[in-house]
């Protein structure tokens, strides 16, 4: 079978959209990854004819973006529609490669009930692959979380995306007539930690929506103190979205936040040890300086942060999810080589 391009009535739970990278991993879409990157997580997205009812200004699926839902790109690439049966069958044929499956939810009235159906089937028919849910605090409840944990789903993601309440309100809530609420997201985070326990809940945050490095890093520290971790992205504009003209953050900003996140999430330092200048830019790792240097030299802090495989290595490495393939790699989907590390070292100190 080939992916469906006319998806007018192909809806969840029987049908899903699949990331282009995951479609390549499953042999559905042709192509090869720049520098032989590979993806080991099958990223799926729920799909409905009406699309997503939210209106986040940076998102390709936003309600006010022109075009049909099935024609909208997400993270700048098309997501072909595929049946759940085919996802399971193709993943079963590639169990040596597929190390995780992630279901991304959208804001739709049928989403909560359909997500349960999809997740149960994934677990029953693909029990070898751990499953993540990128959840939707606006529509999901504590009972949904408990249902997921009982399946069992082992990781939960929450895409808060914005580092401060004003930025959240501006891009996701009242300023864009969106349904999401900052307070609900953080209450849901607390509920998820209660249900899933520590080290199983990841918060997605996007660097470059207008926050300072200090705001972002202090939030990452609070998430870690609560028992969660952070999956970091560099803002990368989506054509056709309202933030299409918004620039990417300077690469130095992203590198510093990446290194700080790694130190915090690996429990090698706390945000309180770091020093910031009057503009909120990270200027010192303080007492953690030597640990920061050692960590940076490995290159690992600059790799994609995401849900792990059964051995703890990142399975969800989202190749080029926050940059174009080429010289300006933001989240490395593979181990940076010596040339990459030389460039990263310059970027850490040379760009504002």
Q: What are the residues binding ligand SF4 (CB under 6 A)?
A: 41, 43, 100, 102, 132, 134, 155, 157, 202, 204, 231, 306-307, 316
Q: How far is the CB of 305 from ligand SF4 (least distance, A)?
A: 7
The smaller minimum CB distance to ligand SF4, of residues 21 and 28, is found at 21
Tokens of 260: 């700080």
The smaller minimum CB distance to ligand SF4, of residues 115 and 282, is found at 115
The smaller minimum CB distance to ligand SF4, of residues 180 and 274, is found at 180
Residue nearest to ligand SF4 as judged by C-beta position = 157
The smaller minimum CB distance to ligand SF4, of residues 196 and 285, is found at 196
Q: How far is the CB of 329 from ligand SF4 (least distance, A)?
A: 18
The smaller minimum CB distance to ligand SF4, of residues 186 and 233, is found at 233
Q: How far is the CB of 286 from ligand SF4 (least distance, A)?
A: 29
Q: How far is the CB of 132 from ligand SF4 (least distance, A)?
A: 4
The smaller minimum CB distance to ligand SF4, of residues 307 and 348, is found at 307
The smaller minimum CB distance to ligand SF4, of residues 231 and 292, is found at 231
Q: Where are the alpha helices (DSSP H) in the chain?
A: 20-25, 84-93, 111-125, 142-150, 165-172, 182-196, 213-226, 251-265, 289-298, 338-350
Q: How far is the CB of 118 from ligand SF4 (least distance, A)?
A: 14
Inter-residue contact 194 to 146 (CB < 8 Å): no
Closest CA to 55 of 47, 45, 65: 65
Length of the chain: 352
The smaller minimum CB distance to ligand SF4, of residues 43 and 347, is found at 43
CA 196, 202, 204, 210 torsion-angle sign: positive
How many Å separate Cα 83 from the centre of its chain?
23
Inter-residue contact 62 to 73 (CB < 8 Å): no
The smaller minimum CB distance to ligand SF4, of residues 75 and 295, is found at 75
Calpha distance 16→115 (Å, rounded):
11
Closest CA to 224 of 253, 203, 196: 203
Closest CA to 192 of 114, 230, 140: 140
Q: How far is the CB of 122 from ligand SF4 (least distance, A)?
A: 13
Q: How far is the CB of 129 from ligand SF4 (least distance, A)?
A: 11
The smaller minimum CB distance to ligand SF4, of residues 104 and 347, is found at 104
Calpha distance 23→32 (Å, rounded):
11
Calpha distance 71→65 (Å, rounded):
11
Q: How far is the CB of 190 from ligand SF4 (least distance, A)?
A: 18
Calpha distance 119→101 (Å, rounded):
10
Longest distance between any two alpha carbons in the chain, whole Å: 58
Tokens of 198: 């520590």
Q: How far is the CB of 313 from ligand SF4 (least distance, A)?
A: 13
Cis preceding-peptide flag for 308 (omega within 30 of 0): no
Q: How far is the CB of 341 from ligand SF4 (least distance, A)?
A: 24
Calpha distance 105→145 (Å, rounded):
13
Inter-residue contact 157 to 185 (CB < 8 Å): no
């Amino acid at each position: 079978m080939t992916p469906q391009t006319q998806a007018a009535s192909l809806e969840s739970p029987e049908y899903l959209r699949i990331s282009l990278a995951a479609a390549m991993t499953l042999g559905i879409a042709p192509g090869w990854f720049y520098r032989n990157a590979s993806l080991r997580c099958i990223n799926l997205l729920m799909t409905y004819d009406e699309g997503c009812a939210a209106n986040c200004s940076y998102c390709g699926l936003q309600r006010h973006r022109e075009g049909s839902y099935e024609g909208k790109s997400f993270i700048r690439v098309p997501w072909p529609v595929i049946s759940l049966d085919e996802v399971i069958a193709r993943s079963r044929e590639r169990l040596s490669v597929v190390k995780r499956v992630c279901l991304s939810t959208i804001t739709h009235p049928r989403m909560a009930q359909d997500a349960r159906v999809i997740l149960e089937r994934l677990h029953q028919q693909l029990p070898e692959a751990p499953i993540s849910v990128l959840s939707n605090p606006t529509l999901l409840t504590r009972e949904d979380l408990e249902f997921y944990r009982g399946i069992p789903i082992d990781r939960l993601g929450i895409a808060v995306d914005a580092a401060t309440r004003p930025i959240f309100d501006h891009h996701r809530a009242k300023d864009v007539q969106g349904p999401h609420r900052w307070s609900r997201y953080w209450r849901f985070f607390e509920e998820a930690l209660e249900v899933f326990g520590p080290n199983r809940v990841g918060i997605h945050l996007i660097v470059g929506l207008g926050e300072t490095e200090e705001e972002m890093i202090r939030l990452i520290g609070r998430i870690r103190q609560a028992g969660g971790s952070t999956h970091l992205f560099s803002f990368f504009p989506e054509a056709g979205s309202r933030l299409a003209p918004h620039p990417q953050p300077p690469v130095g900003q992203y590198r510093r936040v990446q290194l700080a996140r790694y130190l915090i999430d690996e429990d090698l330092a706390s945000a309180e040890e770091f020093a910031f200048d009057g503009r909120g830019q990270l200027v010192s790792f303080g007492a953690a300086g030597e640990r920061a240097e050692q960590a940076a030299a490995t290159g690992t802090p600059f790799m994609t942060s995401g849900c792990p495989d059964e051995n703890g290595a990142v399975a969800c490495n989202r190749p080029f999810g926050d940059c174009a393939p080429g010289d300006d790699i933001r989240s490395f989907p593979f181990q940076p080589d010596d040339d990459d590390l030389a460039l990263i070292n310059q970027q850490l100190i040379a760009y504002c």
